[in-house]
Structure 1
Amino acid sequence: MNPAGLLEVTAVRRVTPRTVRVTFTGDGLAELEPWPDQQLKLLFPPPGHPVRLPAAEDDVLRWYQAYLAIPEAERPVMRSYTVRSRNGDTIDVDFVLHTGPAGPATAWAARAAVGDVLGRYGPDPAYRRPLPTADTLLCAGDETAIPAVASLLSEVDNALVFLEVADAAEEQPLPGVHWLHRDGAEHGSRLLEAVRGAALPAGSVAAWLAGEASTVRALRRHLVGERGFAKSDIEFTGYWRRKLAQDDAPTPEDLADAAEKLGDSAGWNGS
């Protein structure tokens, strides 16, 4: 399968007050092998320009170099998203409409319409991560983690799941999830409180954490420092950063997280 191509919008629907689900079709999607937590890069065209794809390259580094070679005024903005579900030659992607000034992805999703076109890179099997072999998978995240958690729940028999959302209207129909409502509280505070107070089941437990980067970092420190988790038993991703955009330079904490993930690339179950 060609790792890059165009996506055309075939449907747009609001699944919660703050979540827009967009259905895309495109060449190569029918041959896409599914796996849990399947991520891809979406390329959003700059204002006044159609989406422009880099020259075709099978190697991700050469593809990225070709992407950077596009003149800045015509270069699409690239953001990472998780496939919510797929059906034949279509995929669904959920966009969370964050409050405050809208970034390019949020602004696009708020006005998305049938016929709109984006670019994509992936999903690339090179970035597929193995599922844990533990008896129980502890999942914790915010609304940006819901698509990945939904795919994980379709593959994992025993999961303990905590998801923090803005309020009750943001819940989605997922089995066995402990929903946590901010209701005006600081982002991540309800999630941290719930995980710190959770009674973990007997047997081996691995963890999957995703959402706002500083919250993910705090959760991971709790599990390692207070619960005795091995670092290799925790898969973690900071999807977004409070007060920072993906285009902003990485913080020292971001760089440390990235270095540790690369160090654990042999597998998060220690294999």
Structure 2
Amino acid sequence: MNPTGLLEVTAVRRLTPRTVRVTFTGDGLGELEPWPDQQLKLLFPPPGRPVRLPAPEADVMRWYQAFLAIPEAERPVMRSYTVRSRDRGTIDVEFVLHSSGTDGPATAWARTAAPGDVLGRYGPDAAYRRPLSTADTLLCAGDETAVPAIASILSEVDNAVVFVEVADAAEEQPLPGEVHWLHRDGAEHGVKLLEAVRGAKLPDGSVAAWLAGEAGVVRSLRRHLVGDRGLAKSVIEFSGYWRRSLTQDDAPTSEDLADAAEKLGDSAGWTGN
């Protein structure tokens, strides 16, 4: 499947007060093979302009260089999202609406999304597919931005213990299996998630982990699992989906670069204990 193309909105649904599900159609989506935690890049056009895409390239780095070569005034804003579900040539993507006054380009677009709107895409690309853990227990932990990926993982496994931190009870979504919902209710982001994972009694046997959400919280969870619980780094899949007070347009921090280097250097894969 060509990883580059256009997506057209066919439906918009408000799932919770802060979550919008958008259904897209587009060329090639009917050929898309599903896999858990399937990510793609969405390309949001500048206000008042159509989406301009770089020429298709077989290599992702060449594609990215062609993307950067688009004049800045015409270049789309690129953000990463997870495919929530797919059905007969369509895909669903969920957008978390952050607090009013802090909208980035993706959130601002999602607030007013309507059928007929068009975005660009890169992916999903099978080159980024990761195998699911073979450990006895898979610990999943994240915030509301991780719900689509966690949902896709739970559709494939029955050995997961899940902790999800959301703003309040209204943000819960139906998910299968053992899911522990944690409500911030005004508390600082990530505090309740960290407390819950640190205090969790996990089943006997081997354990692997999947962590996603705010980058600083993900790092703290990972340090706990490695330093306090003795998990090998190779059995922890982790992604900082967003950064507190920073956007994807800001320069990466030293911690961001260290995370990226470690993930690129992990040739062992994610296979569990």
Shorter-chain TM range is over 0.9
Letter in 1 for 2:190: G
Q: Which residue of 2 aligns with 1:75?
A: 75
Q: Which residue of 2 aligns with 1:49?
A: 49
Report how far residue 66 of structure 1 moved: 0.7
> Alignment partner of 2:262: what SS?
helix
Is there any run of 5+ residues in structure 2 with no aligned partner, and where? Answer: none
> Alignment partner of 1:85: what SS?
strand
Alpha-carbon distance in structure 1 between the residues aligned to 2:240 and 2:267: 16
Report how far residue 269 of structure 1 moved: 2.5
> Alignment partner of 1:183: what SS?
coil
Report how far residue 266 of structure 1 moved: 3.5
> Alignment partner of 1:157: what SS?
coil
Q: Which residue of 2 aligns with 1:164?
A: 165
Report how far residue 88 of structure 1 moved: 1.4
Given that residues 135 and 207 in structure 2 are in contact (C-alpha distance below 8 angstroms), is that contact kept between their aligned partners in structure 1?
yes
Report how far residue 48 of structure 1 moved: 1.6
Given that residues 135 and 272 in structure 2 are in contact (C-alpha distance below 8 angstroms), is that contact kept between their aligned partners in structure 1?
no
**1:1-271 superposed matches below 5 A:** 1-99=1-99, 100-175=101-176, 176-269=178-271
> Alignment partner of 1:36: what SS?
coil
Which deviates more, 187-196 or 173-182? Answer: 173-182
Alpha-carbon distance in structure 2 between the residues aligned to 1:101 and 1:230: 37
TM-score, normalised via structure 2 length: 0.98
Report how far residue 270 of structure 1 moved: 6.9
Which deviates more, 68-77 or 261-270? Answer: 261-270
Letter in 2 for 1:5: G
Alpha-carbon distance in structure 2 between the residues aligned to 1:115 and 1:183: 36
Report how far residue 265 of structure 1 moved: 4.0
Alpha-carbon distance in structure 2 between the residues aligned to 1:238 and 1:211: 5
Alpha-carbon distance in structure 2 between the residues aligned to 1:35 and 1:7: 20
Alpha-carbon distance in structure 2 between the residues aligned to 1:260 and 1:66: 27
Letter in 1 for 2:119: L
> Alignment partner of 1:177: what SS?
strand
Given that residues 14 and 20 in structure 2 are in contact (C-alpha distance below 8 angstroms), is that contact kept between their aligned partners in structure 1?
yes
> Alignment partner of 2:195: what SS?
helix
> Alignment partner of 2:175: what SS?
coil
Given that residues 137 and 206 in structure 2 are in contact (C-alpha distance below 8 angstroms), is that contact kept between their aligned partners in structure 1?
yes
Given that residues 134 and 272 in structure 2 are in contact (C-alpha distance below 8 angstroms), is that contact kept between their aligned partners in structure 1?
no
> Alignment partner of 1:221: what SS?
helix
Alpha-carbon distance in structure 2 between the residues aligned to 1:10 and 1:258: 35
Alpha-carbon distance in structure 2 between the residues aligned to 1:130 and 1:265: 13
Report how far residue 75 of structure 1 moved: 0.2
Alpha-carbon distance in structure 2 between the residues aligned to 1:149 and 1:24: 20
> Alignment partner of 1:206: what SS?
strand
Letter in 2 for 1:68: L
> Alignment partner of 1:42: what SS?
strand
> Alignment partner of 1:115: what SS?
coil
Alpha-carbon distance in structure 2 between the residues aligned to 1:253 and 1:60: 24
Letter in 1 for 2:209: A
Q: Deviations over 1:198-241 (max 9, x none)?
A: 00100111000000000000000000000000000100000000
Letter in 2 for 1:34: P
> Alignment partner of 2:162: what SS?
strand
The runs of 4+ residues in structure 1 deviating greater than 3 Å are none
Q: How many residues align?
A: 271
Report percent identity of matched pairs: 85
TM-score, normalised via structure 1 length: 0.98
Alpha-carbon distance in structure 1 between the residues aligned to 2:25 and 2:97: 22
> Alignment partner of 1:9: what SS?
strand
Alpha-carbon distance in structure 2 between the residues aligned to 1:210 and 1:190: 15
Alpha-carbon distance in structure 2 between the residues aligned to 1:270 and 1:149: 17
